[in-house]
Amino acid sequence: MLRTAAPYLRFFLILWIVVTVVFISLRLAPGDPAVLLLGPTAGRQDVAENLADIRERYGLDRPMIVQYGIYLTDIVTGDLGNSNRSDRPVIGLIATAAPVTINLILLSILVAIPIAVFLGMTAARYRNSPYDITVRGVATLAMAIPSFWIGLLFLNFFAISTIWLPASGYAPLSEDPLGFLRHMLLPVTTLAIYLVGTLTRFVYTETADTLEQDYITVSRAMGIRPRSLLFRFAARNSLTPMIIVVGVEIGTLIGGAVIVEEVFGLPGLGRLLLNAVLGRDYPLVQGCVLAITVAVILLNLLAEFIYRRLNPQAAE
C-alpha cells in the first residue's frame, strides 16, 4: 500500500516545494507589482487611492502568510487566478502559449534522436578512429556552446544577412503549415544542437559498453554481419536507457526554450514566463512554473514507465 502511494507522495512533495520556493522568491525580489502597473506616476498623491485599490484587488495588501494560504487553496481547487497585468485567466494565457513550446521541444527531440543515435553508434563501432574522435569532439562542443549564441549566429546569417528565413514570429501549424516550418526551422535547430551533443555522448558510451558484452562477441563469432550486429543486436540494449535521459533532459530543454523563444520571438511559454517575471505578474509566474513543473514530473514518470515496459528487468 505504502509502496504504491510513494510515487504520488513524491509528486506532490516536489510540487509543493517548487510552488513555495517560487512564491517566496517572487515576493523577496525587488519591484512592486502595483507600482509597475501604474508606472512612473504611481507615487503621486492623487493616485494613492487607486494604488491601494490595486493592492487590495490582487490581495497584495495582506500578510504574506495569508496570501500563501489563499494561493495554496486556489491551486487545490484548480484556480490559477487572473494575470495582474492583463487581467486575463492565467490558464488561458498558458493554454495559448504552451503549444508553441511543446512543438518546439517535440520537434527538437524528433530531430535530435536519429542524428544522435546514428552518430553515437557509428562512432562506438569505429572506436578511436579519426571519425570517432571528430564525432565526440563535435558532440562536446554542441553541449558546451550556449544556445543563445548559436541562435544569434543563425539569426545573423540566415535571417539578417540573407533573409532566407524569417527572423522572428510564429505561424500556427493548423493555419499555415509551411509558415510554421519556416518559423520553426532556426529555433528547432538551435535547441536540437544541444540535445544532439548530450544524446550522442550517451549513445556512444552505452553502445561501447554493449559492444564489449559476451553476447555480442558470441554473435560476432557466429558470423553475423557488423551492421546487423550494431543496429539490431546492440541497439536494443544501448538505446532503451535513452528514454530516461530524454525524460531528464526535458527540464533543461524547457530552460533552453526560454532563451530560444526570446531570441527568435516565439510566443511560447518561456517568453510568457520571462515577461511575467519582468512585469512582476505574480499569478502568471506562479501558474507558468506550476504548469512546467507538472509537465516535467509527468514526462519523467512517463519515460520511466515506458522504460520499464521495454526493459522488464528494470521493474524489479
Q: What's the min distance (Å) between Cβ of 300 and another protein? A: 28
Pick the stretch among 7-15, 28-36, 110-118, 185-193 that binds another protein (CB under 8 A): 28-36
Nearer to another protein, 197 or 268 (CB): 268
Q: What's the min distance (Å) between Cβ of 53 and another protein? A: 9
Residue 174 contacts another protein per CB under 8 A: no
3-class DSSP string for 212-243:
CCHHHHHHHHCCCCHHHHHHHHHHHHHHHHHH
Question: If residue 294 lies in a helix (H) or strand (E), which one and from where to where?
Answer: helix 282-310
Long-range contacts of range 162-169, CB-CB < 8 Å, 24 or more positions apart?
167/264, 167/265, 168/264, 168/265, 168/266, 169/265, 169/266
Q: What's the min distance (Å) between Cβ of 142 and another protein? A: 25
Instruction: Rule CB under 8 A: choose which of 165, 173, 245, 294 binds another protein.
Output: 165
Q: What's the min distance (Å) between Cβ of 195 and another protein? A: 24
Residue 280 contacts another protein per CB under 8 A: yes
Pick the stretch among 8-16, 81-89, 108-116, 187-195 that binds another protein (CB under 8 A): 81-89
Residue 267 contacts another protein per CB under 8 A: yes
Residue 86 contacts another protein per CB under 8 A: yes
Instruction: Rule CB under 8 A: choose which of 61, 72, 91, 96 binds another protein.
Output: 96
Nearer to another protein, 105 or 269 (CB): 269
Residue 45 contacts another protein per CB under 8 A: yes
Please give the grid coordinates belonging to residue 159. Answer: 535571417
Nearer to another protein, 120 or 151 (CB): 151
Nearby residues of 101 by Cβ (< 8 Å), 6 or more positions away: 254, 257, 261, 268, 269, 270
Residue 312 contacts another protein per CB under 8 A: no
Residue with cell 550556449: 146
Show the CA angle centred on residue 221, arms to residues 217 and 225, nearest 5°.
95
Nearer to another protein, 182 or 220 (CB): 182
Following CA atoms 284, 286, 292, 296 in sequence, which dihedral angle do they give, to the nearest 10 degrees? -170
Nearby residues of 145 by Cβ (< 8 Å), 6 or more positions away: 193, 194
Show the CA angle centred on residue 183, arms to residues 245 and 107, nearest 5°.
20
DSSP secondary structure of 58-109? TTTTS-HHHHHHHHHHHHHTT---B-TTT-SBHHHHHHHHHHHHHHHHHHHH
Pick the stretch among 27-35, 233-241, 286-294, 303-311 that binds another protein (CB under 8 A): 27-35
Residue 60 contacts another protein per CB under 8 A: no
Residue 35 contacts another protein per CB under 8 A: yes
Please give the grid coordinates belonging to residue 15. Answer: 510540487
Q: What's the min distance (Å) between Cβ of 271 and another protein? A: 5
**Rounded CA separation 159/167 (Å):** 5
Residues 135-164 that bind another protein (CB under 8 A): 155, 159-160, 163-164
Q: What residues make contact with another protein under the rule CB under 8 A? A: 29-32, 35-47, 49-50, 83, 85-88, 93, 96-97, 155, 159-160, 163-170, 182, 262, 265-268, 271-272, 275, 278-280
